[in-house]
Amino acid sequence: MTTDTMPDLMISTLPNSSESRSIAVTLQNDPTLSRSYEIVIAAHSLPHLGTKLRDLGLGKKSQKVLIVSNPVIFKHYGDAVQTSLQDSGFEVAKVILPAGERYKTAKSLQSIYDAALAHRMERSSLMVALGGGVVGDMTGYAAATWLRGIELVQVPTTLLAMVDSAIGGKTGINHPQGKNLIGAFYQPRLVWIDPTVLRTLPARELRAAMAEVIKYGVIWDRDLFSKLLDSPRLDQLRYIKPELLDTILYACAKAKAEVVSKDEKEGNLRAILNYGHTIGHAVEMVTNYRTFNHGEAVGIGMVAAGAIAVELKLWTQAEHEQQLSLIAKARLPQSLPTDIDLEQIIVALSLDKKVSAGKIQFILPTAIGTVKVTDQVSSEVVRKVLRQILTQ
């Protein structure tokens, strides 16, 4: 895609709401095909979701909506979303899936398909993902493949999903031998973010999300990185000032939207969003998704990527130390379990979906706010850094 076909990112304030923000993601990979959708950030907005969907023209032909969630999230927020949809005239069904990365499987996907069939979902029907990244990824892939594609709305309820996974159209499930090996690029019609739901977010999940927030500071937004450095703690919501939380939500969503608008299907630029994920995904897989959650594994991956960048003289030890200080503020792990098999991590890296021509792609920082994509990292350097992390 040439620069003259790349659309600009449009940012606007929602009408009649001084506390709401809207980011428009416009995708145009071909001059004849243009799509866009909103990322809406608005407190106390769950009860207004149905009205927004009607305003978007959804449900004109089919009133059927399938909510996909997990037990804990649906207990907290399911009634509000379901009532909002029903009050707007939608015919609502739900499917409740077990929570956790290890359930991001073909079996769970089949449960969504079964519910869609039972609800007689049509091509003009709609799926709503109410939950974190696992729910969003699986619902997105189900929507992409049910009847060859139906409408999708993301309603993220975790900070990690709000700042990252719910935006950009990456959907999928895990294969037993690799994370996210089965999936599709499939954009939602709307991303609806209500920050007030974060009050029920467990502290561990908040810490995990901070890994993705720090990632955006390293790869894209030096100002965000600086503001994170100014915060004394990043490990609990009560220590994060409301102004900083607002900055985090808006800056991360804006960064993701800008990248995806320019490179929807990871042809080049979008690969930078995988910073920390290459080794992070391998760590998740080798530990069977039980030792670390996704954000914790990404934190370890960023520690490794930063150390590799120091080894290759791409950035300075001082910059790496700044990154480490943020990871420490978020109380994210910085080392690997001593009983982990490093060679299994190397094998898992070779199965990563970002491998090209047999070479592993790494995203490495060159300065705060800037990274590069390279496949010129030797296995010796990777092993050296992994051993360093193992013994910290």
Specify binding-site residues for Zn(2+): 212, 277, 294
Residue 270 known to be catalytic: yes
Q: What is the dihedral of CA 168, 174, 175, 181, to 10 degrees?
A: 10
Which is the catalytic residue, given 170, 215, 254, 329? 170
Residue 48 known to be catalytic: no
Q: Yes or no: say if 115 and 103 are a contact pair by the CB < 8 Å rule.
A: no
Of 212, 226, 225, the residue nearest 332 (C-alpha): 212
Residue 61 known to be catalytic: no
Residue 148 known to be catalytic: yes
Of 227, 189, 345, the residue nearest 281 (C-alpha): 345
Residue 75 known to be catalytic: no
Residue 288 known to be catalytic: no
Which is the catalytic residue, given 70, 174, 180, 274? 274
Which is the catalytic residue, given 104, 215, 262, 277? 277
Which is the catalytic residue, given 48, 262, 281, 329? 281
Residue 281 known to be catalytic: yes
In the annotated binding site, the residues are 133-137, 157-158, 170, 179, 212, 277, 294
Q: Yes or no: say if 46 and 65 are a contact pair by the CB < 8 Å rule.
A: no
- Phi, then psi, of 190 in degrees rounded to 5: -160, 140
Which is the catalytic residue, given 101, 266, 284, 296? 266
Of 330, 332, 348, the residue nearest 287 (C-alpha): 348
Which is the catalytic residue, given 104, 207, 262, 294? 294
Tokens of 365: 């920082």
Which is the catalytic residue, given 60, 148, 199, 313? 148
> What is the three-class DSSP state of 333?
coil
Residue 320 known to be catalytic: no
Residue 266 known to be catalytic: yes
How far is it, in rounded angstroms, from Cα 279 to Cα 301?
5
In the annotated binding site for NAD(+), the residues are 133-137, 157-158, 170, 179
- Phi, then psi, of 44 in degrees rounded to 5: 55, 35
361 vs 49, 171, 352, 373, 377, CA distance in Å?
A: 40, 21, 9, 7, 8
Q: CA 94, 99, 100, 106 torsion: positive or negative? A: negative
123 vs 3, 88, 112, 349, CA distance in Å?
A: 34, 20, 15, 38
Which is the catalytic residue, given 270, 320, 329, 331? 270
Tokens of 80: 């509000």
First to last CA, the chain: 44
Which of the residues are catalytic?
148, 170, 212, 256, 266, 270, 274, 277, 281, 294
